[in-house]
Chain A
Amino acid sequence: MITFEGVSHRFGDTTALAGIDLTLADHELCILLGPSGSGKSTLLRLVNRLLEPTSGRVLVDGQDVRAYRPEALRRTIGYVIQNVGLFPHWKVRDNVATVPRLLGWDRARIRGRVEEVLDLVGLPDQTYGGRYPHELSGGEAQRVGVARALASDPPILLMDEPFSAVDPLGRHRIQGEFLEIQRRLKKTVVFVTHDVDEAVRLGDRIALLNGGRLVQYDRTEVLLESPSEAFVGDFLGQDRTLKRLSRVAASTLARSHAPSGGYGSGVALAEDLDLRMVLSHFLESGTDVVALKNRQDRITGWLHREDLEDWARIGELVR
């Protein structure tokens, strides 16, 4: 658990953060979202003491971070940044081994762990371990960055716009892969981004910041559905409803019985497709109902357009 208690931070005359109170739950991916200059990166860097608060306290598991030596603290917290910052003169496997080496693990253990995390991010050590960073694509380098942060298996991951330098297509893929990893590892992730789509796609919760203030902190669905003030709505965009749909799998609204009056579109969609895609399919085909299938191509249910529209209007909040 990470707690910010009345945290303020000033750089000279400018106030980067003004009295932030925020608690981030364990095993959740919390997005720090906001325009540039909103203080989101500053907030993140307070956790591993790359910056110190001007006033207030930052607690990790109830313990003030100032109780730890900065280096010792940082070795227990994974850190991924936008420009990756791989050491250009070290091979991929040496980069990944950075923190385990700092922690003084023995060679065999480091070797095993490096292979494990490189496998986890889909870059097998045999192929990639001996390469130098400049021999990697942007997406590969960022995966190595993630592997490096996970190497010592820290409970907390700090990620500062980790995927924003990757091209859009690669970014979408790496986001998906990272979600998979997170579902398995259940780390406590603090993830800074200014990209609303990324925030909506990845975040269990979103903390929206503006001008050093915390504007709203809620579960992602709630934030999309009921913005607390005009800024939140503006920042999330007019297509909030579509974004909300994008977080829900088609199977959640499926009926088990076949349609009586509606017309099927004649195709079956994958049941784990999100509702936004299903709506797109409805608009395209002009139909009111679509069959859903599982990975084995078996029909598992039907999704009715009216159910989708009801859901979009009312919203089934999981508070």
Chain B
Amino acid sequence: MAEAALRPRRIDPVLAALALAGAGSAFLVPFYQFAPNRIVAGTDWFLVPASLPAALGLLLGWLGIGVFACAPVSFRLAPAARLAWFLVPVPVLAALAGAARVSRTLAGTDPVARVTLGPGVWLTLLGALVAGIAMPSGIRSRALVLLLALGLALAGLALGWFDALSLVREARNLGSAFGTEFNRHLLLTGAAVAAGTVLGLALGISGHRSPGWRLGGFFTLNFLQTVPSLALFGLLILPLAWLSARYPLLRAWGVKGIGPAPALIALSLYAALPIARNTLTALDEMPRAVLDAGRGMGMSEWQLGLGVVVPLAWPAVLAGIRVATVQTVGNTVVAALIGAGGLGTFIFQGLGQTAMDLVLLGTLPVVALALAADQILGLLSRPRGARP
């Protein structure tokens, strides 16, 4: 039954629908908005009058994907068909090229006027994402295509093609602050995941060994997971402020009621749960026969641990770290509210000023970071050789 459902259909329904919708979007959805300044809502521009070459590129890209969707199954499954994955970024690049063209026509006319990316661009991005998942590809060709597309977009950015784009305008306004907060976000996330990993491993192992730890430790972590992150940050302010006032040494280390200290504590606690849970499951489900055989053949506990338990539990633990990392990238946004910095700073600033582009400027790198972390850790956990 399941296999029958997985057999490829004569026409790929997902890709065909995407291609149709994508082509239609060129005429039906506004791709860009033009606004005289930061606050005023802009006027909609459709792709077809805005930039004919961009519209042509977009249509060709979707047309290619549509043709692929209708190609014979044998062709779609052939290894060479993976080259069709090169079509995936074409509509997105076309939409960006359109943005560059529109923004160039405005460049120099008015320093406050701006072009905003409209729903059409975001929908194209989403469509390309789904198409990228639905189309067959090898991991290497996929990485190559993505890097090429990203390189092209960044080159355009560097050459000033997008200068009148509102996102770029906002970024220019921020200056070096963007890099600072980006690094800070990375640092907070990295430190929290590292601390969460240590905590999670420790708790997973003790939970496996003692029922008391299992009950108490996991109850605490599960409970904490239900506390909204903002509330947890808030709850930590008081005790940390008290500790900081009482112990000068802590104060010297920068421990305060607000700032990175409470953020790191809360983020580490959140990150610990998936890691602890996966560690515990992996240890609990370690085949007893394997351990018995290892011991019975004269392996010491160390040899058994390093040679058998760690390699067998590692994939599950890594999966936990992966979940924790993606989750922490997002959670770190909220940390900006208690003065810990990070990309959340822009999001909350933007919300306060109803400047959606500033919000986007904070959001897009967070999404990109989460996706990148997920992909990288996913690559690490790919099984080498064969596994059960």
Q: Which residue numbers of A lie inside 8 Å of B, CB to CB?
A: 48, 50, 70-75, 79, 81-89, 98-99, 102, 132-135, 145, 148-149, 158
B299 close to A84 (CB less than 8 A): no
Minimum Cβ distance to chain A for residue B154 (Å): 41
Q: Residue on B with the closest CB to A145?
A: B293
Instruction: Give me the 6 closest cross-chain CB pairs, A-B, nearest first.
Output: A85-B293, A74-B298, A83-B289, A75-B298, A85-B289, A79-B296
A74's partner among B295, B311, B312, B385 (CB-CB below 8 A) is B295
21 contacts between A and B (CB under 8 A): A48-B296, A50-B292, A50-B295, A71-B299, A72-B298, A74-B295, A74-B296, A75-B297, A83-B288, A85-B292, A88-B290, A89-B308, A98-B294, A98-B297, A99-B298, A132-B386, A132-B388, A134-B386, A134-B388, A135-B386, A145-B293
Minimum Cβ distance to chain B for residue A74 (Å): 4
B388 close to A88 (CB less than 8 A): yes
Please name all residues of chain B whose beta carbon is closer than 8 Å to the beta carbon of A88 when the two chains form the complex: 287, 290, 312, 387-388
Q: Residue on A with the closest CB to B295?
A: A50
A52–B297 Cα distance when bound, in Å, is 16
Please name all residues of chain A whose beta carbon is closer than 8 Å to the beta carbon of B387 when the two chains form the complex: 88-89, 132, 134
A212–B288 Cα distance when bound, in Å, is 24
Q: Does B220 touch A at the CB level, under 8 Å?
A: no
Q: Does B375 touch A at the CB level, under 8 Å?
A: no
A132 close to B385 (CB less than 8 A): yes
B298 close to A73 (CB less than 8 A): yes
Contact with A along B276-296 (1 / 0, CB 8 A): 000000000001111111111
A108–B388 Cα distance when bound, in Å, is 29
Minimum Cβ distance to chain A for residue B289 (Å): 4
Please name all residues of chain B whose beta carbon is closer than 8 Å to the beta carbon of A133 when the two chains form the complex: 388
A88–B308 Cα distance when bound, in Å, is 9
Minimum Cβ distance to chain B for residue A218 (Å): 28
Select the residue from A70, A81, A148, A158 with max chain B CB neighbours within 10 A.
A81
Q: Does B183 touch A at the CB level, under 8 Å?
A: no
Minimum Cβ distance to chain B for residue A272 (Å): 35
Q: Residue on A with the closest CB to B301?
A: A71
Q: Does B105 touch A at the CB level, under 8 Å?
A: no
Q: Residue on B with the closest CB to A151?
A: B297
Chain B, range 224-271, C-beta contacts under 8 Å to A: none
Q: Does B109 touch A at the CB level, under 8 Å?
A: no
A71 close to B287 (CB less than 8 A): no
Please name all residues of chain B whose beta carbon is closer than 8 Å to the beta carbon of A85 when the two chains form the complex: 287, 289-294
Minimum Cβ distance to chain B for residue A22 (Å): 20
A102 close to B388 (CB less than 8 A): no
Please name all residues of chain A whose beta carbon is closer than 8 Å to the beta carbon of B291 when the two chains form the complex: 85
Please name all residues of chain B whose beta carbon is closer than 8 Å to the beta carbon of A82 when the two chains form the complex: 289
A78–B386 Cα distance when bound, in Å, is 27
B298 close to A102 (CB less than 8 A): yes
Q: Does B173 touch A at the CB level, under 8 Å?
A: no
Contact with A along B373-388 (1 / 0, CB 8 A): 0000000000001111
A216–B374 Cα distance when bound, in Å, is 64
B293 close to A86 (CB less than 8 A): yes
Given contacts A87-B308, A89-B387, A102-B303, contact A81 B298 (CB under 8 A): no
Select the residue from A102, A149, A158 with max chain B CB neighbours within 10 A.
A102
Chain B, range 300-341, C-beta contacts under 8 Å to A: 300, 303, 307-308, 311-312
Minimum Cβ distance to chain B for residue A4 (Å): 18
Select the residue from A72, A75, A85, A133 with max chain B CB neighbours within 10 A.
A85
Please name all residues of chain B whose beta carbon is closer than 8 Å to the beta carbon of A48 when the two chains form the complex: 296
Q: Residue on B with the closest CB to A74?
A: B298
Minimum Cβ distance to chain B for residue A67 (Å): 16
A79–B295 Cα distance when bound, in Å, is 10
Select the residue from B290, B292, B293 with max chain A CB neighbours within 10 A.
B293
A73–B295 Cα distance when bound, in Å, is 11
Minimum Cβ distance to chain B for residue A256 (Å): 50
Given contacts A102-B303, A132-B385, A134-B386, contact A148 B297 (CB under 8 A): yes
A87–B290 Cα distance when bound, in Å, is 6
A99–B293 Cα distance when bound, in Å, is 11
B295 close to A83 (CB less than 8 A): no
Please name all residues of chain B whose beta carbon is closer than 8 Å to the beta carbon of A87 when the two chains form the complex: 290, 293-294, 307-308
A188–B288 Cα distance when bound, in Å, is 26
A132–B388 Cα distance when bound, in Å, is 8
Please name all residues of chain B whose beta carbon is closer than 8 Å to the beta carbon of A83 when the two chains form the complex: 287-289
Please name all residues of chain A whose beta carbon is closer than 8 Å to the beta carbon of B296 when the two chains form the complex: 48, 50, 74, 79, 81, 158
A149–B297 Cα distance when bound, in Å, is 8
A133–B388 Cα distance when bound, in Å, is 8
A102 close to B297 (CB less than 8 A): yes
A71–B301 Cα distance when bound, in Å, is 10
Minimum Cβ distance to chain B for residue A167 (Å): 18
